[in-house]
């Protein structure tokens, strides 16, 4: 009985967490490697201090920041130009991808 309850709860959790993710992590990865890797690294671990690390950052934070660059609320010559070419979906996919990468400081 206990095992049954645990498996029901586990499947419910998998279902809920699965439904919460509308963004496409693979599309995010593709775009990240094509467009962002030169500065932020392929997995969001930027090599130069001038480029903020994105790996492991909260998806919502990345999404809000990119929307800020896109709308012009947040100003940076490089990022304003890049974000202008990203769609709402691109931004969500990229945010999900980078948020799931582990940062250098958290790597063992």
Give the residues lining the site for ligand HEC (CB under 6 A): 35-36, 38-40, 50-52, 54, 62, 65-66, 76, 78-79, 82, 86, 94
Q: Which is nearer to ligand HEC, 15 or 42 (CB)?
A: 42
User: Which residue's CB is nearer to ligand HEC, number 65 or number 92?
Assistant: 65
Cβ neighbours around 11 below 10 Å, total: 10
Least spacing, CB of residue 67 vs ligand HEC, in Å? 10
Distance of alpha carbon 107 from alpha carbon 101, whole angstroms: 10
Cβ-proximal residue to ligand HEC, closest one:
36
For ligand HEC, the closer of residues 11 and 102 by Cβ is 102
Give me 99's structure tokens. 């948020």
Q: Is residue 97 within 8 Å of residue 28, measured between CB atoms?
A: yes
> How far is Cα 90 from Cα 94, in angstroms, rounded to an integer?
6
Measured CA to CA, the distance from residue 85 to residue 36 in angstroms comes to: 12
Q: How far is the CB of 23 from ligand HEC (least distance, A)?
A: 13
Nearest approach in angstroms of CB 78 to ligand HEC is 5
């Amino acid at each position: 009985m206990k095992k049954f309850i645990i498996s029901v709860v586990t499947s419910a959790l998998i279902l809920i967490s699965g439904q919460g993710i509308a963004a496409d992590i693979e599309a995010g990865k593709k775009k990240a490697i094509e467009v962002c890797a030169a500065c932020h690294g392929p997995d969001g671990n930027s090599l130069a201090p001038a480029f903020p690390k994105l790996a492991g950052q909260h998806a919502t934070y990345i999404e809000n920041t990119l929307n800020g660059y896109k709308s012009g609320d947040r100003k940076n010559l490089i990022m304003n130009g890049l974000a202008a070419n990203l769609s709402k979906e691109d931004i969500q996919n990229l945010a999900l991808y980078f948020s799931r990468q582990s940062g250098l400081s958290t790597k063992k």
